[in-house]
Chain A
Amino acid sequence: MGLILGKVVLVTGVARQLGGRFVRRIQRDPDVDRVIGVDAVAPEHHLGGAEFLRADIRHPAIARVLAETGVDTVIHMDINGTPLGKRGGRTSVKETNVIGTMQLLGACQKAPNVERVVIKSSTSVYGSAPRDPAVFTETTTPKSLPSGGFAKDIVEVEGYVRGFARRRPDVAVCILRFANILGPCADSPLAEYFSLPVLPTVLGYDPRLQFVHEDDALDVLRIAAAAPRRGTLNSGTFNIAGDGVLLLSQTSRRLGRPTLPLFLPTVTWAGTALRSVGITDFSPEQIRLLTHGRVVETTQMRETLGFHPKYTTAEAFAEFARSRGPGLLPPESLARTVDRLAGVLTARRTPAQ
């Protein structure tokens, strides 16, 4: 294996938009010799000249891929809340998340070349509950662990990753807990939610939300995939989120989409109904997020990882809102209406005085 001069990077989940963009991005990196994209289905987008290997990470065959290609950096991005496309339900998603990670980590443990493993995790791992502190740090243990769904997958995945890190202390392991990733081509459940013409909300709750822009997500993945820069450390667990917080009411006003406040039981029932019809994936943990919200601290991201996001939460959301087009009540026209009202009122008062 002494012939390998540069880096060989394996990226999972490249059939998704974010994975595809990351492969294209890292392919241009001069330090990287070879990029291998892996997914169970062929991507519809091009991978910028990177090799694509059609392999299912749920099968042990992935170990052979790792051994044959001499991969030294593994970027595991195939951890998702929703199935890709219309096929596959929650079961296959869960299998890819949990069994896929197990298989991939097992393969990494057997591959002596592997030096660095990066896991795209999510802040869902903290759950959302009213009894939790307002801001989660990386070390906060949530009061109530997620009972199911994607959040539970993430908890299990991170458990396996920690086990792997214990067994292979020579491998630098980096878990990036992303807040909701938004951007022009985001395909997350939250992006789907914000595309609804009328946003159903939970009556009497106004959750605090945080977003990361796609570009920032790619940048931080690249930082985690490379050797640490001077004065920084890129192994460990990091919360990744844009600065600041937006309330759900603010997001709906900025999007120009009216809200439809519903009682919590109604929302849960409607979510189940919509899910079974297949219109939108309104999972219970999504409802919990849109009820109680979630905010994470990003001091570690800044000071230890040395990453400073380009977009704040508000800017990331503004970019996303621009890409989705105006809603039923565009904020610009509302503002114009108020301005016109102000004009009428002052015009009427001026001659009277």
Chain B
Amino acid sequence: MADAKVIPFGEEPRARRKARRAGRGGRGTALAPVPEARTEHPPAAPPPPRPRSLDERIAGGLAFLRRRITGDYEVDDFGYDEELTDQVLMSLLRPFAEKYFRVEVKGIENIPADGGALVVANHSGTLPLDGLMLQVAVHDNHPAQRHLRLLAADLVFVLPVINELARKAGHTLACAEDAQRLLERGEIVGVMPEGFKGIGKPFADRYKLQRFGRGGFVSTALKAGVPIVPCSIVGAEEIYPMIGNAKTLARVLGLPYFPITPTFPWLGPLGAVPLPTKWTIQFGEPIPTDGYPPEAADDPMLMFNLTDQVRETIQHTLYKLLVQRRSVFF
């Protein structure tokens, strides 16, 4: 695929990027989406966040507490607890996205304002923090505040506590049935087809996309007729530089890999603190899938071609972002 299709974007001069970063820095505590986009979708957008008085916050907090302790809230078929996610889980993750990793989001307009879409991203970082940051990035930057429904490995749903939180945050098992059901309901579904091969790869292989599974995500998107949005995440590779893999220990613990980084496990829990790298999340132009006939999902050649197209797009965007990056940490 030497002549792979590369979609150009992010070709701004450095001065403008700097100016925008300065503008972002001045944003302060407000988490507001872009204002002009909000006027485009007045019904979907929530009321503009103005600084709430302490009374209002106490009242809001007590109303939330009242609903929680009496069980008066709703979850969907997948166990997704929207209220808990918005009020608690997102608030816990947001400081990481905004202050710690300083996630810069580009091309959010490539995620449709309504209807389903499949966001396909690269996977890295030893622990799946990239998925969580992606979820926060989509929710906080999208004008319609869309929720990203991530597809997670089965290991997530075996582990206690983790499975409970994952389900409540809207994640579900990465299988064709669940993905298709979510897409047909018009949700934004996030998938990282590299799986453990991507997240558990050694530091030397950083930003080299691994095999994209069997490309099942393409046929799922095709069956649901939703666009595929390629997404490239830069910065997650360096949070835990994995210099070794204790395979025997991993096998004993039943894990796909056991990471050894310069700090972990030598410094104990302190070694599990991720490095504060500077992240960029770039959403690429959506690849439409609704133009294919229904039997196209059973055509392996077409699936391979589309998978390669998505993969090449993400890989090229990764290289482009890496060239633009000034430093790993700033």
A133–B178 CB distance below 8 A: yes
Of the listed stretches A70-78, A159-167, A241-249, name the one at the interface; the rest are far from the partner chain.
A241-249
Q: For the complex, what is the distance from the CA of A305 to the CA of B172, rounded to whole Å? A: 29
**Which residue of the partner chain B has the closest CB to A345?**
B58
A253–B71 CB distance below 8 A: yes
In the complex with contacts A253-B69, A253-B71, A331-B71, A295-B167 CB distance below 8 A: no
The 24 listed contacts between A and B (C-beta, < 8 Å) are A130-B154, A133-B173, A133-B175, A133-B178, A134-B77, A134-B79, A135-B77, A135-B178, A137-B177, A205-B163, A208-B78, A244-B77, A245-B77, A247-B81, A249-B71, A250-B71, A253-B69, A254-B70, A292-B157, A335-B66, A335-B70, A338-B66, A342-B58, A346-B55
Q: For the complex, what is the distance from the CA of A130 to the CA of B154, rounded to whole Å? A: 7
In the complex with contacts A133-B175, A134-B172, A331-B71, A203-B79 CB distance below 8 A: no
Q: For the complex, what is the distance from the CA of A130 to the CA of B55, rounded to whole Å? A: 43
Residues of B within 8 A of A135 (CB): 77-78, 177-178, 181
B71–A206 CB distance below 8 A: no
B71–A252 CB distance below 8 A: yes
A205–B154 CB distance below 8 A: no
Residues of chain A from 320 to 340 with CB closer than 8 A to chain B in the complex: 331-332, 334-335, 338-339
Q: Give the contacting residue for B78; candidates A134, A252, A339; CB below 8 A.
A: A134
B154–A131 CB distance below 8 A: yes
Q: For the complex, what is the distance from the CA of A339 to the CA of B73, rounded to whole Å? A: 17
Top 3 closest A-B pairs, CB basis?
A204-B160, A253-B71, A331-B70
Is the interface on chain B under 10, 10 to 19, 20 to 34, or 35 or more residues? 35 or more
Q: For the complex, what is the distance from the CA of A203 to the CA of B161, rounded to whole Å? A: 7
Q: Give the Cβ gap from A262 to chain B, nearest Cβ, in Å.
A: 11
Q: Give the Cβ gap from A338 to chain B, nearest Cβ, in Å.
A: 4
Identify the A interface with B (CB < 8 A): 130-135, 137, 140, 202-206, 208, 244-247, 249-254, 264, 292-293, 295, 331-332, 334-335, 338-339, 341-342, 345-346, 349
B75–A250 CB distance below 8 A: yes
Q: For the complex, what is the distance from the CA of A246 to the CA of B71, rounded to whole Å? A: 9
B167–A130 CB distance below 8 A: no
Residues of A within 8 A of B55 (CB): 346, 349
Residues of B within 8 A of A203 (CB): 160-161
Residues of A within 8 A of B172 (CB): 134
B59–A204 CB distance below 8 A: no
Q: Give the Cβ gap from A59 to chain B, nearest Cβ, in Å.
A: 43
Q: Give the Cβ gap from B156 to chain A, nearest Cβ, in Å.
A: 9
Q: Give the Cβ gap from A140 to chain B, nearest Cβ, in Å.
A: 7
Residues of chain B from 65 to 104 with CB closer than 8 A to chain A in the complex: 65-66, 68-79, 81
Q: Give the contacting residue for B164; candidates A133, A205, A264, A332; CB below 8 A.
A: A205
Residues of chain B from 45 to 60 with CB closer than 8 A to chain A in the complex: 54-55, 58-59
